[in-house]
Amino acid sequence: DGGITQSPKYLFRKEGQNVTLSCEQNLNHDAMYWYRQDPGQGLRLIYYSQIVNDFQKGDIAEGYSVSREKKESFPLTVTSAQKNPTAFYLCASSTSRLARTNTGELFFGEGSRLTVL
């Protein structure tokens, strides 16, 4: 079945370490997104990508990095520069409305909960 897969579901990190969260989709979607969710707050956009080999900073990109070498994959690295990385991270994908044909419906992964020890 088509879908979007995030891993790991839970991750613990020591201060000063970089960690990479995986996001893979087999929906043939052009657009992929990384969001951060903190208690009591709406989802905040970290990075997004509308096409392979291109990505844009979102509202809270500092301390994060991404790559989009393949259409299916959009990994997020939480670097040691991110001051408060403990959060719930969600990856999503959709057909880009900038494409000729699109539905725009969003599909989300199950999320990755990162805790810094």
The residues binding another protein (CB under 8 A) are: 31, 33, 35, 37, 40-45, 48, 50, 58, 88, 90, 92, 94, 96-98, 103-111, 113
Bridge partner residues of 23 (DSSP) = 6
CB 15 within 8 A of CB 115: no
Which CB sits closer to another protein, 80 or 86? 86
Give the span between the Cα atoms of 74 and 67, in whole angstroms. Answer: 6
Query: Which of 78, 92 has the CB closer to another protein?
Result: 92
* Minimum CB distance to another protein smaller for 11 or for 43: 43
- Which of 62, 105 has the CB closer to another protein? 105
Give the nearest distance from C-beta 16 to another protein in angstroms: 26
Integer Cα distance of 83 and 86 in angstroms: 9
Report the chain's terminal Cα–Cα distance, integer Å.
Answer: 36
In whole angstroms, give the CA distance from residue 34 to residue 87: 12
CB of 58 to another protein, least distance (A): 7
